[in-house]
């Protein structure tokens, strides 16, 4: 089971797309392969969480970012952001409500499983959840959209196996939280 201590997690909602080049979270993995690999990690970690097969979400997609959606047993929505050619997932985001403890735990399990499936060690994965204020990573002009009702935190962890930086965001808007993971650069 994933061993993460979550003492004071102020959750957030929404989806953040930093202006960074998109790299695959898991090499050679379309949405279905990606979910299968994440489910294998969840199973291997003895987690009760399992993702449903991904479905194309036309309502949330646009011509540039195909989006597939999967769900956890308690209904956490997991959005898989694909490259335009649908060759791989470049960002995974788990969305739930702050007051939903089971949902928060499932969101954490999914993000942790994505990190492990992408090649991170357990120690590296755990560091992804040590979010710090976004102001420590982003320039002020990149955070103009952040309102007083928004909590936005980020972490960056170097993955030795991939030899690249991995990122995680924690975004809370009102009662909604989004946790996401992505490869920052190679």
Q: How far apart are CA 144 and CA 81, in angstroms?
A: 23
Residue 62 pLDDT > 90: no
Residue 146 pLDDT > 80: yes
Instruction: Please give the share of the chain, as a percent, with pLDDT higher than 90.
Output: 65
Query: 28 vs 79, which has greater pLDDT?
Result: 79
Query: 15 vs 86, which has greater pLDDT?
Result: 86
In the chain, where are the structural domains located? Answer: 31-185
Query: Per residue in 72-85, pLDDT tens?
Result: 999 999 999 988 88
CB 177 within 8 A of CB 11: yes
Residue 21: per-residue pLDDT: 59
Q: How far apart are CA 85 and CA 122, in angstroms?
A: 31
pLDDT band at residue 12 using 50, 70 and 90 as cut-offs: very low
CB 80 within 8 A of CB 68: yes
Residue 121 pLDDT > 50: yes
Which whole number is the average pLDDT over 53-71?
Answer: 88
CA atoms within 13 A on the CB side of 125: 20
Region of 162 (left: φ > 0; alpha: ψ -120 to 50; beta: rest) is alpha
Residue 36 pLDDT > 80: yes
CB neighbours of 89 closer than 8 A, spacing ≥ 6?
Answer: 24, 25, 26, 29, 30, 31, 34, 68, 80, 81, 82
Which whole number is the average pLDDT over 60-87?
Answer: 88
Residue 7: per-residue pLDDT: 28
Residue 76: per-residue pLDDT: 96
Closest alpha carbon to 6 in 79, 73, 106: 106
Q: How far apart are CA 26 and CA 116, in angstroms?
A: 10
The length of the chain in residues reads 186
Q: How far apart are CA 75 and CA 70, in angstroms?
A: 9
Residue 176: per-residue pLDDT: 94
pLDDT band at residue 99 using 50, 70 and 90 as cut-offs: confident
């Amino acid at each position: 089971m994933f061993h993460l201590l979550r003492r004071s997690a102020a959750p957030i909602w929404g989806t953040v797309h930093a202006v960074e080049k998109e790299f695959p979270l898991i090499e050679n993995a379309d949405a279905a392969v990606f979910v299968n690999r994440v489910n294998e990690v969840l199973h291997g970690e003895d987690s009760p969480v399992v993702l449903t097969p991904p479905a194309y979400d036309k309502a949330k997609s646009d011509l540039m970012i195909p989006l597939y959606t999967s769900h956890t047993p308690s209904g956490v929505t997991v959005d898989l952001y694909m490259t335009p050619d649908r060759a791989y997932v470049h960002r995974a985001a788990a969305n739930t409500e702050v007051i939903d403890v089971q949902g928060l735990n499932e969101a954490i399990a999914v993000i942790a499983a994505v990190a492990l499936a992408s090649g991170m060690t357990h120690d590296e994965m755990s560091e992804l959840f040590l979010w710090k204020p976004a102001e420590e990573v982003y320039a002020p002009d990149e955070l103009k959209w952040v309102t007083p009702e928004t909590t936005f935190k980020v972490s960056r962890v170097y993955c030795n196996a991939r030899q690249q930086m991995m990122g995680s965001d924690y975004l809370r808007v009102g009662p909604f939280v989004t946790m996401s993971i992505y490869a920052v650069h190679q």
